[in-house]
Structure 1
């Protein structure tokens, strides 16, 4: 209210009131599910700043693996990633089913803890530990993150799909080093459809 002869003073709200609690966009549903998995498995997950999120609801020709910076609320990078041949018997490029059974060659959904790196037949790779009933046999099945020649942008463009793994999360040779570095030991990899 202005006193006669004096201009009205502008009221500046305190900094904490300037931003509405609704101003930050709501994360997409898959990110919300990954955050819920972080909370549910928090005792096992040492590093909560970055997660690997796989959207198996998309075709293999699409970049459906996302490294998500949870604190900043943004996708850092997206990559092609394979699914298991047992999840896609017709080789259509789409996940049809999941399995946790040994010898199924299928992908498994849910929360995985990233383990140590090692050098195997696919070069530098990272072990995965399943944290849910749907993927509890991941370590015993040898479900890991590795590179494969059957994962490439060229193959996705020319064939409309990439190749299939035996249930592992396989990346292109050009992407594997960055994925392994960023998604280091003690982080969450979350796969859903």
Structure 2
């Protein structure tokens, strides 16, 4: 579970990001390691960064989340590059194709933007919000948490929704799936269940090896002081 303050954390040493342990059976694993094993086609480093970012958000006062979606835009759109994890029970819920924005690239995304009308995807950490039914059907709003990187997501209507142009058949024939106006669109057959798994304050992490973002994201570099304070608060709550 991605939880910032639990008594069990009082005796856990922190290296880089909080290592969370929903049960004693997982004591030998960090959450990142456990999730990476569930998704062998994913880059374990990307999974680790996603866990670090989500945990850092909670150390900084964010609400706990029980689901984590990871999108790796460094992979071509013809391959599954979206994973949704249940971090409480350490389960992989979805492994899916996902579209990138029309102006982010062709088969592979290489350009990202936070600007309105850019028709490009955005990087960074998002928190999901409410659902609605619009022109793309059942959809999930997201709030971008990173100033200057994705904080225009709500204004840009960057949402998760289903789309007919996201299909394995198209990927096989064209070598890529269709592109969105910046939204991480998924297959229509899975959209409703995937959205229901992620709605209501869960975390979404969109990755690309962009050096500027990687070097500046506040969610990828929690300081030792922040983490030590979180541990101290957990220790105080547990009475140790």
Normalising by the smaller structure, the TM-score range is: 0.7 to 0.9
Moved over 6 A (4+): 22-25
Separation of aligned partners in 2, 1:186 and 1:24: 19
Contact kept, 8 Å, 2:31 with 2:51, in 1: the verdict is no
Matched, 1:94 2:108: yes
Richer in helix (by share) = 2
TM score, norm. by length of structure 1:
0.82
Cα deviation for residue 153 of structure 1 reads 1.0
Residue 61 of structure 1: which of 78, 97, 101 is its match? 78
**Residue of structure 2 equivalent to 1:44:** 62
TM score, norm. by length of structure 2:
0.67
Contact kept, 8 Å, 1:83 with 1:107, in 2: the verdict is yes
Separation of aligned partners in 2, 1:68 and 1:103: 31
Separation of aligned partners in 2, 1:129 and 1:23: 27
Richer in strand (by share) = 1
Matched, 1:146 2:161: yes
Alignment coverage as a number of residue pairs: 173
- CA deviations over 1:74-97 (Å, ceiling 9, x no partner): 432201110001111xx2x10111
Contact kept, 8 Å, 2:102 with 2:120, in 1: the verdict is yes
Task: Go from structure 1 to structure 2 and tell me whether the alpha carbon gap of 1:174 and 1:107 turns closer, same or farther (over 3 Å shift).
Answer: same
SS of residue in 2 equivalent to 1:185: coil
Unaligned runs of at least 5 residues, structure 1: 1-17
The alignment's C-alpha RMSD in Å is: 2.3
Cα deviation for residue 166 of structure 1 reads 0.5
Separation of aligned partners in 2, 1:24 and 1:44: 18
Cα deviation for residue 103 of structure 1 reads 1.0
SS of residue in 2 equivalent to 1:116: strand
Unaligned runs of at least 5 residues, structure 2: 1-24, 37-43, 209-240
